[in-house]
Amino acid sequence: MDYDLPRYRWRKPLSSYVKGKSVQEFVRFILENRQLPESYIVRFLNVSIDNFDNKFENNYTERALDVFKKMISADEPIGIFGDYDADGITSVAILGTFLSYLNKKFIFKLPTRDEGYGIRVDILEFFRDLGIKNIIVLDSGSNSREVWLAAKEMKLNLLYLDHHEILCDLDREINLVNPHMWGGDLLCSAGIILRFLMLLDMFNSCCDIFPTLLELATIGTVGDSIELLGDSRIIVKLGLNQLRKSTIPGIRNFFNVKLLYITIEDLMFYLVPLINSAGRIGKPDLALSFLLEKDLRKSIEKCTLLETLNQKRKAMQSQFFSTCINILNESLYSPSVHFLKIDNCPKGIIGPLAARLACSYNKPFFLCSGDQLLYGSGRSPGNDVDLIDLYNQVTSEYPAINSSFINFGGHQGAVGFTLKGNAFPEIKKSFERFRIRERIPILNIDISFDGFSIDDNFFRALMAMTPFGFGNQRVLVCTRGIEFKDFESSADYSEIVVFKHYNNIRWIIKNNRQISKSLLNAKFDAVWEAKVKIDGIDFEFLDAKMVFLNCY
């Protein structure tokens, strides 16, 4: 045969499909096959703020609420420290909006990329010199024990709300709200501050601003790629509906001009990069000001400035991408893991640049820039390569390089690090020597049908499962015993429609080279990825296996 199928290993559903299911039964069937815990399934099916994770209400949170209430009642401003990315910026915007509603004065500080991530002692000194004793730290602080101790010496009151993994021993007196402390639902910092504020008795009188806070928490959650399950799914599901009638002038104008509808992809590819652009090559204060601005004309002006920064970021990223490609093309070998250094690359560009290179080469990619100290980022191509695990394996095999890393942290698909510049050659050699075992990628099939005989309730179930994203992957469907015939091809042959249920529900093949004459003369089991759109569903072809002898 002259086609290269199948290209994947198939993992079939744990249980078989039974006809006559309701919409909710279809959703439950898929989630159970994904082995999602019952508590998550119940809340997946019943999206409501009443179904937020009750583990969030605990002794740690209660103590933090008491501290926060005292800060509000004190006759002095509150200091707020955030981060330069979308989560850090929206976290500050949520708290700032809430305090403004209470007519409580506050002063915020956001770090630039050059200043680096996280709370530091000099930040405490900044607030202390302004006469501010009560400081709230958002989106960092879980591993800043020395800052906590310094704050005690300075007689400053610190409250942390963070979501990063805790890697150090905590002081027993630390005021920290972090779901990792009690094994709660994964939330970004914007989600944490929203849930935290909602536990206040006074929040019942703040209903007017809840839609705004929900919108901001949604943007932060999507921007930080938090898995869309539990509390985070509830926030994003409700928040996307709210964003269609946004209470934030800048966002309302941005989407009315750019888009007819708002989806999670619109946030990921339009709004989040716009917000992040300020922190990547400018000052994040501009993005925060854009989100807090109440005057439409001024918000449009700030949006224009952000779009200019974003275009500049894209141009710089393309320029450095070409530089990286040229360096890689000069190499005589192709390692399983790339570890690359480039000159004069802005810190804010390194992360998205590493992500683009990882996707282009389908390999883990570590990229850094600098001189005596190299600042870098690593990205996984999304093929089940855990970067934290990879780092641990490499440093275990080559322990001499461990001391050359000033820091290394992040999560499975994205990490940040700082290393000594003179150690780069040895570190590069160690990582690129490491061999990742080649594995055939797996398709985890959610549900199978005989041919295209599919209940309409299944299509409604797919609509109900939105939004899809990290932690809630698009549904993979297997159609058994189908024949590739009587199909329609687009004029430019870029798309083949294999079957239509209705005009807006189609089974398509994006690349007609995947179909050969041989493929047209047999029966196949085929796997499709369901892509739910505003106006319908496209099932895009992924893989196929021939059904030999036309028997089952």
94 and 216 belong to one structural domain: yes
What angle, rounded to 10 degrees, do the helices at 38-45 and 23-33 form? 150
* Helix (H) or strand (E) segment spanning residue 445: none
- By the 10 Å C-beta count (0-12 exposed, 13-18 middle, 19+ buried), 205 is classed as exposed
167 and 301 belong to one structural domain: yes
- Which CATH number covers residue 114? 3.90.1640.30
80 and 204 belong to one structural domain: yes
* Pair of tokens at residue 175: 């005021």
Please tell me the distance from the alpha carbon of residue 360 to that of residue 362, in angstroms, as a whole number: 6
Domain boundary among 246, 275, 307: 307
Which residues share a beta bridge with 450? 480
Could you tell me if residue 316 is inside a domain?
A: no
- Which CATH number covers residue 516? 2.40.50
Total of domains in the chain: 3
Could you tell me if residue 44 is inside a domain?
A: no
90 and 124 belong to one structural domain: yes
Which residues share a beta bridge with 444? 11
Domain boundary among 386, 408, 433: 433
289 and 418 belong to one structural domain: no
- Which CATH number covers residue 362? 3.10.310.30
Residues written for the chain: 552
* Pair of tokens at residue 434: 């490491």
Which residues share a beta bridge with 489? 496
Please tell me the distance from the alpha carbon of residue 537 to that of residue 457, in angstroms, as a whole number: 13
**What is the reported pLDDT for 3?**
56
pTM of the model: 0.91
What are the pLDDT tens digits along the chain (552 aa)?
445 778 889 999 888 777 789 999 999 999 999 999 999 999 999 999 999 999 999 999 999 999 999 999 999 999 999 999 999 999 999 999 999 999 999 999 999 888 878 899 999 999 999 999 999 999 998 888 889 999 999 999 999 999 988 877 777 788 999 999 999 999 999 999 999 999 999 999 999 999 999 999 999 999 998 999 999 999 999 999 999 999 999 999 998 765 667 899 999 999 999 999 999 888 999 999 999 999 999 999 999 999 999 999 999 999 999 999 999 998 878 899 999 999 999 998 999 999 999 999 989 999 999 999 999 999 988 656 889 889 999 999 999 999 999 988 777 778 889 999 999 999 999 999 988 776 678 899 999 999 998 989 999 999 999 999 988 999 999 999 998 877 777 666 577 888 888 779 999 988 665 565 556 678 899 999 999 998 899 999 999 998 865 444
**What is the reported pLDDT for 515?**
61
**What is the reported pLDDT for 513?**
59
**What is the reported pLDDT for 552?**
44
Range of the domain at 16: 9-34+446-550
**What is the reported pLDDT for 2?**
46
* Pair of tokens at residue 443: 């398709």
Which residues share a beta bridge with 80? 108, 136
458 and 384 belong to one structural domain: no
**Residue where the block lists tokens 């047999």:** 522
**What is the reported pLDDT for 547?**
82
